[in-house]
């Protein structure tokens, strides 16, 4: 039987180079704290236990990471990576395989880590290394004449010869809990930084005849840590480029793969077209043939097949039906449900609005807390007055209603099927089926009107 996998995530460091009040691991990549990416990866590996070692900003980290599958361990003083892992030791069952990850290394692929974790047994440990053109700052991998790994030497402890090595320690390793419990208490901090180095477990393993099996990531980005905001931006771009590639592979045409940002799970059909500067947030689904114009923000939304979203529209918490036509400059707020063949045009805001098939709200309107039937025409400048300053009320509009331009519908109010509202009306009472309601001042024309003169 394979040993259960436990993941320890180190996240106690301050990250002073971020120059931030926010703990480093809470800075976001693709709209999610880096730490949450790492936790997500740990879950995708099927880890039996996830252990977060926190210190700087511990309360804040716990607060934005509400999860009952994480055991926290507090490292009150940052005495080194070996000391950090030791804080989680009491939480680790002896028979576990332990994979050590970092809260500020957010984008390691699941395959890379699964392969690494597979290297662990009572007789072997797994170490993730990478060759870098510029190994500056990293721990170097020392090998013997047979190319077997002997040890890791930290930059600050390395000789000139060792510094020339360009195979570096990513920091990520996998080792059995039994070994950690044996070795970590034996670490010493007599080194250049006066820290308890986790990396020293490599030479300890070698001394005890335990094999060090090395694995590599597919690309450097996978193991790139974030120390400052420049590196954060680099990882963000790499992540986004990968998302863009995925979308194109799955059947999307992107006007520019460098100008679309995906900050959450985006599911697409085929023949999607996405113009420049489109941002997706949260969970979004796009059906076949959906087209999205430039400068749109689409958050927690599902857009059914054939719908067209024109430039500068914001769609948030809404469902858009088949072949609907939205924008330009439309704003759909949470609770908007548009049926098929609906139209919501420029400078229209909707909120908690259920809109039936074929209905149109084409210009300059606010439709909130409203239910519209089929084939309703809402004229330009129509407002559902849903709020009296304290409570919200519903507006109900039946099938085939025609609302003339610049009308105020004061909720609660019902306009029944087939009714017509004269332009400029303020509707405060229900309107029965097929009625015409006109509620505006009567026009008076005064002849030979003298305008006032300047005195």
- What is each CA distance from 153 to 10, 136, 313, in whole angstroms? 20, 13, 54
**Residues 141-160 close enough to bind ligand UD1 by CB under 6 A:** 152, 154
Active site residue 325: no
- Helices 34-44 and 110-117: crossing angle in degrees, nearest 10, is 50
Q: Which is nearer to ligand UD1, 10 or 18 (CB)?
A: 10
**Which is nearer to ligand UD1, 128 or 348 (by Cβ)?**
128
- Measured CA to CA, the distance from residue 318 to residue 136 in angstroms comes to 49
Please say which residue, 85 or 324, places its beta carbon nearer to ligand UD1.
85
> Cβ 186 to ligand UD1, closest distance in Å?
15
Determine if 23 is a binding residue for ligand UD1 (CB under 6 A).
Answer: no
Six-digit token pair at 312? Answer: 């500068």
Task: Select the residue interacting with ligand UD1 from 72, 138, 183, 239 (CB under 6 A).
Answer: 138
Binding mask 191-230 for ligand UD1 (x = CB under 6 A): ------xxx-------------------------x-----
Q: What residue ranges in 18-132 does DSSP mark as E strands?
A: 28-29, 32-33, 49-54, 70-74, 97-102, 124-131
Query: For residue 404, with 0-12 CB atoms within 10 Å meaning exposed, 13-18 middle and 19 or more buried, which class applies?
Result: buried
CB of 195 to ligand UD1, least distance (A): 6
The whole-angstrom separation of Cα 142 and Cα 137 is 15
* Number of residues engaging ligand UD1 in binding (CB under 6 A): 27
Distance CA 421, CA 437 (A): 5
Query: Could you say whether residue 405 binds ligand UD1 (CB under 6 A)?
Result: no
Please report whether residue 168 would count as binding ligand UD1 according to CB under 6 A. yes
Least distance in Å: CB of 38 to ligand UD1?
Answer: 10
Contact 395, 370 (CB under 8 A): yes
Closer Cβ to ligand UD1, 195 or 275, answer by number: 195
Find the binder of ligand UD1 among 41, 81, 112, 341 (CB under 6 A): 81
| Piece of the chain touching ligand UD1 by CB under 6 A; list 101-109, 271-279, 423-431, 439-447 | 101-109
**Burial (CB count <10 Å: 0-12, 13-18, 19+), residue 165:** middle
Scanning 144-270, the segments in alpha helix (DSSP H) are 160-163, 177-183, 200-207, 229-249
Q: Measure CA of the first residue to CA of the last residue in the chain; give whole Å.
A: 102
Applying CB under 6 A, does 422 fall inside the site for ligand UD1? no
- Is 83 a binding residue for ligand UD1 by CB under 6 A? The answer is yes
**R_g of the chain, CA atoms, integer Å:** 31
Residue environment code for 264-275, b if the CB has 16+ CB neighbours within 10 A, otherwise e? eebebbeebebb
Pick from 3, 5, 13, 342 the residue near ligand UD1 by CB under 6 A. 13
Q: Does 61 bind ligand UD1 (CB under 6 A)?
A: no
Cα gap 113→122, rounded to integer Å: 18
What kind and span of H or E run contains 303?
A: strand 297-303
CA distance 309 to 326: 5
Interface pick for ligand UD1 out of 57, 139, 287, 379 (rule CB under 6 A): 139
Q: Which of 169-177, 233-241, 368-376, 412-420 is the region at the interface with ligand UD1 (rule: CB under 6 A)?
A: 169-177
* Choice between 169 and 350, CB closer to ligand UD1: 169
Q: Which residues are catalytic?
A: 363
Binding region for ligand UD1 (CB under 6 A): 10-13, 53, 75, 78-81, 83-84, 102-104, 138-139, 152, 154, 168-171, 197-199, 225
């Amino acid at each position: 039987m394979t040993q259960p996998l436990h993941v320890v995530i180190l996240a106690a460091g301050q990250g002073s180079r971020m120059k931030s009040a926010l703990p480093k691991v809470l800075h976001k990549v693709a709209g999610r704290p880096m730490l949450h990416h790492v936790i997500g990866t740990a879950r995708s590996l099927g880890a039996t236990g996830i252990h977060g070692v926190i210190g700087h900003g511990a309360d804040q980290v716990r607060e934005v990471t509400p999860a009952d599958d994480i055991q926290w361990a507090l490292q009150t003083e940052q005495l080194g990576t070996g000391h950090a892992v030791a804080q989680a030791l009491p939480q680790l069952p002896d028979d576990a395989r332990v994979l050590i990850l970092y809260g500020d290394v957010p984008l390691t692929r699941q395959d890379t880590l699964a392969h690494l974790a597979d290297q662990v047994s009572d007789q072997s440990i797994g170490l993730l290394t990478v060759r870098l053109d510029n190994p500056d700052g990293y721990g170097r991998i020392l090998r013997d004449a047979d190319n077997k790994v002997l040890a890791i030497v930290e930059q600050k402890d390395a000789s000139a010869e060792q510094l020339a090595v360009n195979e570096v320690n990513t920091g990520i390793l996998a080792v059995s809990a039994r070994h950690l419990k044996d070795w970590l208490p034996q670490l010493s901090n007599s080194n250049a930084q006066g820290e308890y180095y986790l990396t020293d477990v490599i030479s300890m393993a070698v001394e005890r005849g335990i094999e060090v099996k090395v694995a590599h990531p597919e690309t450097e980005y996978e193991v790139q840590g974030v120390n400052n905001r420049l590196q954060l931006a680099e990882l963000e771009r790499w992540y986004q480029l990968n998302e863009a590639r995925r979308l194109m592979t799955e059947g999307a045409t992107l006007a520019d793969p460098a100008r679309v940002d995906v900050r959450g799970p985006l599911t697409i059909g085929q023949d999607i077209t996405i113009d420049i500067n489109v941002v997706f947030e949260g969970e979004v689904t796009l059906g076949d043939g959906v087209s999205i114009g430039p400068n749109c923000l689409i958050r927690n939304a599902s857009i059914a097949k054939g719908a067209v979203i024109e430039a500068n529209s914001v769609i948030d918490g809404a469902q858009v039906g088949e072949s609907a036509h939205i924008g330009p400059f439309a704003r759909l707020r949470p609770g908007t449900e548009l049926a098929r063949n609906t139209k919501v045009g420029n400078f229209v805001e909707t909120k908690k609005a259920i809109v039936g098939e074929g209905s149109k709200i084409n210009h300059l309107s606010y439709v909130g807390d409203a239910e519209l039937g089929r084939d309703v025409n809402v004229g330009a400048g129509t407002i559902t007055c849903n709020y009296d300053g304290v409570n919200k009320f519903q507006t109900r509009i039946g099938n085939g209603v025609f609302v003339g331009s610049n009308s105020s519908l004061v909720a609660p109010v019902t306009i029944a099927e087939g009714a017509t509202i004269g332009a400029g009306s303020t509707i405060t009472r229900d309107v029965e089926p097929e009625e015409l309601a006109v509620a505006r001042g009567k026009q008076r024309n005064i002849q030979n009107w003298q305008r006032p003169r300047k005195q």
